[in-house]
Structure 1
Amino acid sequence: MKKILTVFVAAFLLVGCDDLFTPAIENNKQVSDGLEDPLYAEGILANAYTRNPYNSQSFNDVATDDAVTNQTSNSYLKMATGSWTSNNNPMDQWGSCKAAIHYINLFLTQVDQVSWVKDPVVNKMFCDRLKGEAYGLRAMFNFYMLQAHAGYTEDGRLMGVPIVEELEDETSNFNYPRNTFDECIQAIYDDVQRAEELLPLDYENISSDAEVPEVYRSEGANFSQYNIVFGNNFRSRMSGRIALAFRAKAALLAASPAFAEGSKGTWAEAADYNGEILDLIGGVAGLAAQGNTWYKNADEINSLTGGSNPQEMLWRNGKDATAYSLEQAQFPPSLYGSGQINPTQNLVDAFPMANGYPIDSPEAGYDDQNPYANRDPRLALYIVVNGTVMGTDGKTIDTSVDNTSNNDGLNKENGYSTRTGYYLRKHLREDVYLSSTTTTGQPHYSPRIRYTEIYLNYAEAANEAWGPTGTGLHGYSAYDVIKAIRQRAGIKDASGNDPYLESVKNDQAKMRDLIRNERRLELCFEGFRFWDLRRWNMDLNEPAKGIRISGGTYQVFNVESRTYNDFMRFGPIPYSEVVKFDALEQNKGWD
């Protein structure tokens, strides 16, 4: 993919180089050139791939009650504290996603005319696969646009984004009105169906002609030819399974409280689309045993080759073999990091006790002056608390205000210390070594879609559709999923049971709260909290809190206020777009 994109970009860089090439026109690649140059033609699609919002980690959690940052220039910090406008929107997906869809539509006008290979059967397979990828990608980008920009207009209609499925050129109108939210959801479903018809569920090599799909076997394709087009060399591309995941994500969005009143989305549909994916991996039995430590499973990460996925990953980014930049940004200062993302007391309090009870339950046994004892093991996995031992040298991190030995303590003046009394631990490889003179990196990768997300999607939707223990068309319930996730986390009482879960298993409202909390914990610092709060119609203005430790006492304090208006439950259409196009209605409340 990188080679394809390099060729594509290099071709466009030739445009305008009249002073270097004579005659310049002979060096300008045209779209029509792709008909005889398959590498260049595929580069058009590659351009869309590069615009995936989940190609990198944004840490937009600092716009929520889960985290703050010590970077005063951080755009999410400014957004959360009163600077969010329609022309200053860090959550914007409009320009990038629309550009990607433009390249996809351009590619779809060309793909059937390109000579991919000389063999007609293999050529047809290439056409089918690449069209399938394009439809799946278009569904993905429409989902991200919808999540970021759908909302109610001044007259109370729930609107989505303009659906553009034809190639735009210099003669196009461009002044499109927004389609309804339901029309956008249906467009995503339609593109997923097209992708599913053309793509394999997964890219895997086969070993016999009998395994070749009938549509190609009937035309004479053998398994070697099939592997050239649909084999495991393409594991990182859009597949049928990935496309189904975006349909499942869109269905959950449509059924959610913020959108349900104005859409046709149902919880049962969301449960079934997410359950369909889980059924492919054996339902609850398919939950990866090490899925909650995916970022630090060294043996698993080291063995990843050729686009292969760990059990936890439905889709992932590529592996960086010797990375350490994440640790430089997030390690505490005493480990030569900048401590940029600081989890809040709000999030710490969301982790239950090891026996499964919330910390405010009488049965919890929580001690606010010994707050990290006997807690959910995930707290120690994801967050650096006072007394955490971490790093290759086993350093004890002191976040108290009394710390005079280094800059790990609360609000030191170096600008790299914690503002909340906590540092980030999730995502980090603690076998990375940093010092003032040397660094030793380790392999890293990041998820695009984890199966744990799909499990939690299903649990949320199944609970709403059929109650905590209802299964619908599937053999497992919301209760079954949450039980498996909490067992994996190590939650249990002295008898090995989860009494809190058992106490809420017949109460839909309490199970709803538990599912939402499990989602908050399992998916923390992966870019979900902001979108979840909005689609649940929950309070965006919960102040970010921290812990001040001094003289052995623990005192909670407010670190940072949140400044959101009610209309901000739905993001804006970019100001520059509504100024240019009068058919484009803005969401209510935004200028």
Structure 2
Amino acid sequence: MKKILFIIPLAAMLASCDDLFEPAIENNLGIDHMYNNANYAEGILANGYTRIPIASYPFSEVATDDAVSNDVDNSYRKIAAGSWTSDNNPLDRWTNCKSGIQYLNMFLERCDKVHWADDELVSQMFCDREKAEAYALRAMFNYYLLEAHGGYASDGTLLGVPILETAETQASNFNVPRNSFVECVEAIRADAERALEVLPWEYGDSESMTKLQARYSGAAMSQINRVFGNNFCGRISGRVVEAFLAKLNLLGASPAYAEASGISWTEAADAGAKVLDRIGGVNGLDPTGNTWYCNKADIDAISSSSIPAEVLWMSERLKSNSLEKDNYPPSLYGSGRINPTQNFVNAFPMANGYPISESKGGYDAANPYADRDPRLAAYVTYNGMTSGLSNGTVTTAVDGTNNDALNKLTGSSTRTGYYLRKLLRQDISLDPNGTTEEYHYTPRIRYTEMFLLYAEAANEAWGPTGSGSHGYSAYDVIKAIRQRAGIGIENGDEYLESIKDDQDKMRELIRNERRIELSFEGHRFWDLRRWKSELNETAKGMSISGSTYSVIDVETRNYKDYMFYGPIPYSEVLKFSELIQNKGW
């Protein structure tokens, strides 16, 4: 990649004096330049990494019952109001993912001819590993395409996307039909298996390195380290591939796809357990994983060979304050963009574990934030809380004296009576007289997601306390997650104990825990649709005047039933007659 950056200014210099050459030189490097330049070949593969769809937070929760935005131009706010069409789709992944696949296919077709190293064995290992990465990334892109664009055609067929396993050229036939959902699943699994044949569970992992040494008999550990050592941490690894297979199985087993996907809840649970067993099952749950975004010691300790225990795969760590600028309350010099809803706040149980709708919980509507799940105060800034490095008090009541107040200033103030707190560092100052930055990173996959994936699938496959061939159940996982959050500590989580033999209530609880734990990380909109849940729940807020708390309607939603499945881009359907659109779009 560094070499590519060097080539750009060099090409510009040469172009300025091309009249000195006969004939004039061309400064564009062809793709075959990769054969004798391993760095250039890496640059082709890097196009897969730069197009990973989960590189940042989309805040698609604005399109759900969890949040609204005070930005009138927010694309998710617009589609929630009824403007979601096949040519206005902020959830589109078609172009980006297909571009990534095109680069990967170009790479795979040429990888074997690249001179990776003078040492023949090392060169072969590099070739094997880089190809495995490409297969893994292609599987990932196809998973995201399937999630975003898979759906039922008008004739009732469950379709996926066109499977592309060779690079397209000017001579290619671009007018190809969509493969079935099942065929896409098979293609993703095949690519994943190719990748898993080579990739270590994690780069530098001692057990993986020993296995690799056996695979490449005669290789010295120094050679293995050169190709598979921990200096490659951050690239796609075996555990990431296993996690995507688990996500694929969960998608297929979900109500929106289960009828025709051929994937069972048992397969989904087993795939999730495969990931979790590698960290000791429930015992591997990170004790501080629910506040990963502000665990300063963990974040500061991130290095090329060390990442937080909660994180399975992550983006680069960078110093910034952009999230805080967008989402701090106005009194802290933020724009207050993402406003959690009352619907979301109501999802948090009482500290004793009972939902607020249960009389045993002791919920007080006149003092609604007292004795609640500790995660509420960690994820949402509500009236009277302190926030930011200055510990300024945030007053969202309608009679508040500054722009933190409900609907005080259009485009800056909260519309729901709440501001986002999760994902934000509270040790940042945006004061123009002393602005600071801190490290942030985006977890592409967290282990908590894997635990909740397993709990959902295990409950459906074997009931709340069944464990199949594994040593832990859905109940065990949810109990551990709630204990970590500080729920039911004094009463042994009586509510959880009361429902542990009720599959329906456990399903409801698992989905609620997923809603809370994975909030504002881009899951909710996809979850509601794969569950075929209600999409049109009105987004509500809290209006506070004196000691009076009143729930208010903030935004209505306008979705149609066919929107459980996303569209194929309208422009693509216009161009290619073989490309069938999903029903309703």
Query: TM over 0.5, yes or no?
Result: yes
Counterpart of 1:350 in structure 2 is 347
Residue 7 of structure 1: CA displacement?
A: 6.0
SS at match of 1:261: helix
Counterpart of 1:159 in structure 2 is 159
Distance 1:206 1:287, change over 3 A: closer
Q: Does 1:326 align with 2:323?
A: yes
Counterpart of 1:465 in structure 2 is 461
Contact 2:202–2:208 under 8 Å retained in 1: no
Deviations 1:565-584 (A, max 9, x none): 11111000000101111000
Counterpart of 1:3 in structure 2 is 2
Given residue 345 of structure 1, which amino acid in structure 2 is its aligned partner?
Q
Counterpart of 1:424 in structure 2 is 420
2:545 to 542, 546, 550: 550
Counterpart of 2:485 in structure 1 is 489
Deviations 1:478-522 (A, max 9, x none): 000000000000001533x10110111001011000000000000
Deviations 1:344-383 (A, max 9, x none): 0000000000011110011111111100000000000000
Provide the rounded CA distance (Å) in 1 between the counterparts of 2:205 and 2:575: 49
Deviations 1:243-295 (A, max 9, x none): 11111100000000000012101000000001000000000000000000000
Given residue 419 of structure 2, which amino acid in structure 1 is its aligned partner?
Y
Counterpart of 2:204 in structure 1 is 204
Deviations 1:115-150 (A, max 9, x none): 011110000110011011001100100011000000
Counterpart of 2:234 in structure 1 is 236
1:361 to 358, 378, 384: 358
TM superposition score normalised by structure 2: 0.97
Residue 394 of structure 1: CA displacement?
A: 1.6
Residue 3 of structure 1: CA displacement?
A: 3.0
Provide the rounded CA distance (Å) in 2 between the counterparts of 1:208 and 1:510: 41
Counterpart of 2:33 in structure 1 is 33
Provide the rounded CA distance (Å) in 1 between the counterparts of 2:208 and 2:236: 24
Q: Gapped runs of 5+ residues in structure 1?
A: none
Counterpart of 1:92 in structure 2 is 92
Q: Does 1:377 align with 2:377?
A: no
Distance 1:273 1:562, change over 3 A: same
Given residue 525 of structure 1, which amino acid in structure 2 is its aligned partner?
F
Q: Equivalences for 1:270-281 in 2 at 5 Å?
A: 270-281=268-279
TM superposition score normalised by structure 1: 0.96
Residue 324 of structure 1: CA displacement?
A: 0.9
Residue 446 of structure 1: CA displacement?
A: 1.3
Contact 1:267–1:465 under 8 Å retained in 2: yes
Provide the rounded CA distance (Å) in 2 between the counterparts of 1:91 and 1:207: 39
Contact 1:16–1:24 under 8 Å retained in 2: no
Aligned residues: 582
SS at match of 2:456: helix
Residue 436 of structure 1: CA displacement?
A: 2.5
RMSD of the alignment, in Å?
Answer: 1.8
Distance 1:199 1:317, change over 3 A: same
Provide the rounded CA distance (Å) in 2 between the counterparts of 1:168 and 1:338: 44
Q: Which moved more, 1:48-57 or 1:89-98?
A: 48-57
Q: Does 1:502 align with 2:497?
A: yes
Distance 1:64 1:225, change over 3 A: same
Deviations 1:449-498 (A, max 9, x none): 00000000000000000010110111000000000000000001533x10
Given residue 229 of structure 1, which amino acid in structure 2 is its aligned partner?
V
Provide the rounded CA distance (Å) in 1 between the counterparts of 2:211 and 2:530: 43
Provide the rounded CA distance (Å) in 1 between the counterparts of 2:570 and 2:208: 56
Residue 26 of structure 1: CA displacement?
A: 3.4
SS at match of 1:368: coil
Provide the rounded CA distance (Å) in 1 between the counterparts of 2:505 and 2:445: 27
Residue 310 of structure 1: CA displacement?
A: 0.6
Q: Equivalences for 1:240-255 in 2 at 5 Å?
A: 240-255=238-253
Residue 6 of structure 1: CA displacement?
A: 3.8
SS at match of 2:39: helix
Distance 1:156 1:210, change over 3 A: closer
Residue 230 of structure 1: CA displacement?
A: 0.3
Given residue 554 of structure 2, which amino acid in structure 1 is its aligned partner?
V
